[in-house]
Amino acid sequence: MKARVTVYPRREILDPQGKAIRDALSRVGFAGVDDVRAGKSFEISLGTEDAAEAESTLRQMCEKLLANTVVEDYAVELIRP
């Protein structure tokens, strides 16, 4: 079972990287970019084929390690083959 976990700064929190990237895009000619949020993406291969189990495990991974839930949000997506 493959999954993609994405971790982003929480919506209401300042994202200095995202802001700098948005400004840079504008400087190199890409107008009309309202907002950029810079996050991380993890591709994780799990041994199980049980979707519910996979999701539960991945959420625990996020809570424990992959995301700092004080400042970050995460989303888990199972990639169907």
**Half-sphere exposure for 30 (CA within 13 Å, toward CB):** 9
Per-residue mark of binding to another protein, 38-77 (x: CB under 8 A): x-----------------------------x-xx------
If one asks whether residue 21 binds another protein (CB under 8 A), the answer comes out as yes
Which residue lies nearer to another protein by CB, 12 or 49?
A: 12
Q: Which member of 11, 31, 49, 65 binds another protein (CB under 8 A)? A: 11
Closest CA to 74 of 2, 8, 4: 8
Contacts of residue 1, defined as CB under 8 A and 6 or more positions apart, other chains included, come to: 45, 46, 47, 48, 49, 50, 51, 54, 78
If one asks whether residue 8 binds another protein (CB under 8 A), the answer comes out as no
If one asks whether residue 7 binds another protein (CB under 8 A), the answer comes out as no
Give the CA-trace dihedral at 10, 39, 52, 69, to 10 degrees.
Answer: -40
Which residue lies nearer to another protein by CB, 3 or 66?
A: 66
